[in-house]
Amino acid sequence: MNLRALPLVALLSLPPVVPAAAPAVAVSIDTPMVAPEWAKLERRLLAETVPACREFARKYYDERGYVQCFVRWGANDGPDDAFENFADWPQLHALGASDEILQIFLKTWNGMIRQYSEARTTDVPAGRDGMYVQEFSAQADWMHHGEGLRTFNLLGLSAPTLPIYQERARRWAGLYLGEAAAPPNYDPKLKLIRSMQNGSKGPMLRAATALDWVGDPFDVAKFVAGHGESTFEQFLQHYQEYTDVAGDHFLNLVATTLPTTAYLIANEPKYRAWLVDYMDAWLARMKANGGIVPSYVDYRDGKIGGPENRWWGNAYGWGFSPVNPVNGRRENRNRIPRATVGFANALLVTGDRKYPDAWRTMIDAVNSHARTAADGRREYPTMHGADGWYGWQSTPWNVGALELWYWTQRGDDRARVGANPWLEFLEGRNPDFPETALRRDLASVAWKVAGFRADTKPPERRLADNMMDFNPAAVTALEQLMWGALPPGRAGELLSARLRYFDPQRKRAGVPEDVAALVSEMSAAATSVTLVNLNASEPRTVIVQGGAYGEHTITTVEIGDRRVTVDGACFTVRLAPGAGAKLTLGMRRYARAPTVAFPWDRS
């Protein structure tokens, strides 16, 4: 990171970068390469997004970094949405965009933590001492905790040594470790999080009210509510059936990201031990429940489903189909996709394939309950309640199939995913994908800028989620093409990537200026990536790392008829002016302890 360009980071006490040696293994690329169109589009997208993001931040945030809206508590438009307005900014910087992106993000991230710590509720009990307490959400479910943390969880990609990042990562993880000073969110004997509503003020062990979810009363008619409500009464009606919250829930698997993040800083054993204990307890529950992860585990004794054996219970669980007051219809709101986060974290930290194996077993278990409809078609369930399986669809249940394939790279797991343009490109069947995807994201930047420029709502008439769709950070194509990554979603997951890059000259994450990268093939044991220097007069040096957090060992590098042994987490590539080449990397995946430390800061 260029500290001279980041006065705010200096104010936040970022330690000075100490230059250190690059990885021992280095290769040189001298072969001229005509600049591919995808390479030019990558560099254009990295450049054009920055001024768009700057303008977005100036419109919706003040000099303190406070969001300019009607600040309130609520699952619909609460603090998590304010933080989500900066979704993808950490990745944008970590890919190689200007340091200005990180500077603006840090300002708003810290500003909003102060803002929501100062904000109070009147009617909602949990928020009366602050919507944030100990700088963390006072009480919420892990769908909303995860959404509010999705930017923080990825900050380590760019600023792993930032003291406030490290301190908060450890302190927030401590809220769930069952330690003496922590609120009683976690029961270390039963190895469960005691409620799906939890946070810095501890777990909610009573029935939740609609007000707990919605927040204090306000005049809804003055605003544009993102879920279509026109009155506060409709807000309350929306959450009328969200009463069951006590007990552990698969949504709480998202909470594993906090100890995992703390572990990535210094590999302290207690964080790994907690993650393994908690995840293995869930694997045992799945095994006892026919391979299916339950949505209700009794906090009093750890019994799956409680005394009534309702393993499908709780809000957002397998049997959760509440009435939508806007249209009067019941809607299936099982949030099982969020649970993949825990399995990804456990695989990242341990490398143990039993975690993806358990998810595969669950997919098979759900589909084993398929039925033949009256017209002879095969139907597959998506939900389960008191009357058994329901929510039938014509295709097999495949929630988490893409993640499962990414973890395993197995052919049978690939078959579960079905049509996917990115995977078809990696398989050599969709050669136009890079340019198509990059042009799509470039168009989205222009569309979003036009959208927020046309937004005339004054701050007092905005809700925290009103500007979310105008966030111009466009990184999906860059993540897939440059990193070979699964783009992180809204759940608050960490990054799953085949490769990452670092600039040893500027001592920061991301490709150097003028450099582009294209991951074009991936298998269980190899990755193909093309690197190109678009600068015709200056050389560039880039460090290539295996995995988002150095979790993959790069065994060898092949460039044409050259083969170099690496047997480490990373290696250096020196690109001559205008040079480029395709590299084939041999790999052992999930073979190393993951870390957010940059290559030159590792022992």
Arithmetic mean of pLDDT, 531-539? 98
pTM: 0.95
Give residue-wise pLDDT tens across range 110-159.
999 999 999 999 999 999 999 999 999 999 999 999 999 999 999 999 99
Arithmetic mean of pLDDT, 503-527? 98
Task: Please state the domain count of the chain.
Answer: 1
Give residue-wise pLDDT tens across range 547-593.
999 999 999 999 999 999 999 999 999 999 999 999 999 999 999 99
Confidence of residue 23 (pLDDT cuts 50, 70, 90): confident
Q: What is the pLDDT of residue 22?
A: 55
Residue 389, domain member (yes or no): no
Q: Residue 527's domain is classified under what CATH number?
A: 2.60.40.1180
Residue 552, domain member (yes or no): yes
Does pLDDT of 182 surpass 50? yes
Give residue-wise pLDDT tens across range 321-372.
999 998 999 999 999 999 999 999 999 999 999 999 999 999 999 999 999 9
The C-alpha atoms of residue 234 and residue 225 are separated, in whole angstroms, by 11
Average pLDDT, the chain: 95
The C-alpha atoms of residue 278 and residue 388 are separated, in whole angstroms, by 28
Residue 457, domain member (yes or no): no
Residue 558, domain member (yes or no): yes
Do the Cβ atoms of 196 and 142 come closer than 8 Å? yes
Q: What percent of the chain has pLDDT over 70?
A: 96
Residue 540, domain member (yes or no): yes
What own/partner pairs with CB < 8 Å and gap ≥ 24 does 273-281 have?
274/176, 274/177, 274/178, 275/345, 275/346, 275/349, 276/346, 276/349, 276/350, 277/188, 277/191, 278/191, 278/192, 278/193, 278/342, 279/253, 279/342, 279/343, 279/345, 279/346, 279/355, 281/191, 281/192
Q: What is the pLDDT of residue 180?
A: 78
Give residue-wise pLDDT tens across range 59-100.
999 999 999 999 999 999 999 999 999 999 999 999 999 999
Residue 505, domain member (yes or no): yes
- Nearest-Å Rg of the Cα atoms of the chain is 24
State which amino acid sits at residue 9.
V
* Domain that includes residue 568, residue range: 498-601
Length of the chain, in residues: 603
Do the Cβ atoms of 291 and 361 come closer than 8 Å? yes
Residue 331, domain member (yes or no): no
More reliable by pLDDT, 533 or 326: 533
